[in-house]
């Protein structure tokens, strides 16, 4: 991942230095298992734990000859040891180390991601509560529909994030797995107890079965869970972008001191952060397809998945957390324009209340068809000529014969549309 999209909290987490140190941690956990079942002397394990250290430069030098990064790693580690080096990589195959170390890195990354997702969810929750009783125009097909609550927009995002986070937690557990079962996964050269002991030491679950590799359906589910969350984050960003249009301008991204919007147009304040979140979501989806193709390997394993995972899996983690952090800042610094919300509600000259008049007339005894055909022309006049829809309706003698002034007036009361807010919020445990 390029520096621009790397978060401070995870900077270096997937570096070569970090990766090889996780290799070493897996090797040490394996040796501890061998020791506890009485195969490797504990004093040798202690010596290896004390003296073994990673030298990335030396590993690269050896790999240039061996063309195998795990062999290069084990030989570099052995160079730091005495006779006890014979136990390094004992009973293991390369993928035991690679897959299990990747699980360890996932575990560290997942803790950071979950913390950031929870922060995002809290910011969304705050907005849902702050604007619970704030009317705004709802739009379907990009057109004004009926009045809703600005808070309900955020409540819906909150509910969606809850599902996404639950799915992420479940998928995270599936990739935080220890696999130390040898060349074909049948524990021919390693005692199954070693995996159980190592898994506990590393804080991972223990794979029930594997081939030479952990089945990649785990990674597919993991990647898909983040793709779904990314779509929710993009959904929020897209709404902010749309509500930031000059013609709408109900919200605006925060603008820091000294910030510029355009090199040519000083008046511009562009929703660049929301656009960035959207663009990053495209990359997330683009990376998903090759990951979904990584499970169907030849027989017990080939390495066609390796080149994908070295880029796509790692970049998606970095990119996802970057997007989450950036969206959280957008929401936290969001500027809201209540006067524009009120103005936008009135743009149709009351035509948005036509469905309420329709329901009133049906309740009074008219057929749906008669009521609809009577109201629709008045709605068009209001929209096209700027005439007051309330006045047009009130002046129709056939409608006046069916409804009182009070009943007609109530059709234009915004509180009607928001009367079930408390009920909806209670369903979401939003308080």
Write out the DSSP string of 336-385. Answer: E-HHHHHHHHTTTTTGGGHHHHHHHHHHTT--HHHHHHHHHHHHHHHHHH
Q: Which residues are catalytic?
A: 141, 262
Distances (CA, A) of 267 to 37, 264, 427: 72, 9, 43
Phi/psi zone of residue 171: left (φ > 0), alpha (ψ -120 to 50 degrees), beta?
alpha
Integer Cα distance of 161 and 113 in angstroms:
13
Tokens 């897959």 correspond to 99
Write out the DSSP string of 93-141. Answer: -HHHHHHHHHHHHHHHHHHHHHHHHHHHHHHHHHHHHHTTT-EEEEEET
- The helix/strand count (H/E) of the chain reads as 18, 6
Cβ atoms < 10 Å from Cβ of 348 = 19
Pair type for strands 251-252 and 205-206 = unpaired
Integer Cα distance of 370 and 365 in angstroms:
10
Strand partners, 136: 148
């Amino acid at each position: 991942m390029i520096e621009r999209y790397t978060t401070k909290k995870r900077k270096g987490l997937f570096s070569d230095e970090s990766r090889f140190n996780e290799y070493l941690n897996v090797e040490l956990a394996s040796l501890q298992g061998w020791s506890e079942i009485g195969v490797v002397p504990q004093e040798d394990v202690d010596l290896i734990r004390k003296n073994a250290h990673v030298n990335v430069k030396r590993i690269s030098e050896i790999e240039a000859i061996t063309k195998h990064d795990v062999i290069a790693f084990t030989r570099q580690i052995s160079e730091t040891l005495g006779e006890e080096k014979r136990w390094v990589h004992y009973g293991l195959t390369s993928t035991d180390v690679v897959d299990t170390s990747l699980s360890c890195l996932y575990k560290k990354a997942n803790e950071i991601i979950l913390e950031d997702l929870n922060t995002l969810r809290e910011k969304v929750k705050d907005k849902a509560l702050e604007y619970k009783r704030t009317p705004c125009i709802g739009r379907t097909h990009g057109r004004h529909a009926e009045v809703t609550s600005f808070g309900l927009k955020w409540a819906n995002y909150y509910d969606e994030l809850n599902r996404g986070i639950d799915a992420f937690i479940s998928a995270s557990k599936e990739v935080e797995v220890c696999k130390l079962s040898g060349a074909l996964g049948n524990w021919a050269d390693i005692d199954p107890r070693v995996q159980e002991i190592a898994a506990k030491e590393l804080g991972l679950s223990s794979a029930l079965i594997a081939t030479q590799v952990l089945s990649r359906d785990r990674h597919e589910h993991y990647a898909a869970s983040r793709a779904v969350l990314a779509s929710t984050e993009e959904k929020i960003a897209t709404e902010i972008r749309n509500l930031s249009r000059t013609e709408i301008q109900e919200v605006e991204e925060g603008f820091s001191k000294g910030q510029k919007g355009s090199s040519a147009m000083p008046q511009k304040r562009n929703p660049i952060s929301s656009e960035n979140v959207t663009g990053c979501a495209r990359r997330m989806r683009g990376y998903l397809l090759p990951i979904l193709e990584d499970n169907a390997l030849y027989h017990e394993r080939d390495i066609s998945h390796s080149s994908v995972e070295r880029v796509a899996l790692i970049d998606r983690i970095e990119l996802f957390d970057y997007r989450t952090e950036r969206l959280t800042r957008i929401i936290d610094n969001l500027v809201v324009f209540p006067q524009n919300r009120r103005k936008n509600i009135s743009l149709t000259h009351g035509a948005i209340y036509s469905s309420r008049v329709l329901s009133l007339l049906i309740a009074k005894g008219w057929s749906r068809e008669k009521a609809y055909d009577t109201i629709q022309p008045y709605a068009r006049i209001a929209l096209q000529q700027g005439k007051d829809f309330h006045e047009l309706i009130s002046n129709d003698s056939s409608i006046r014969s069916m409804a009182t002034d009070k009943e007609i007036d109530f059709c234009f009361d915004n509180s009607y549309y928001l009367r079930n807010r408390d009920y909806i919020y209670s369903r979401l445990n939003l308080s």
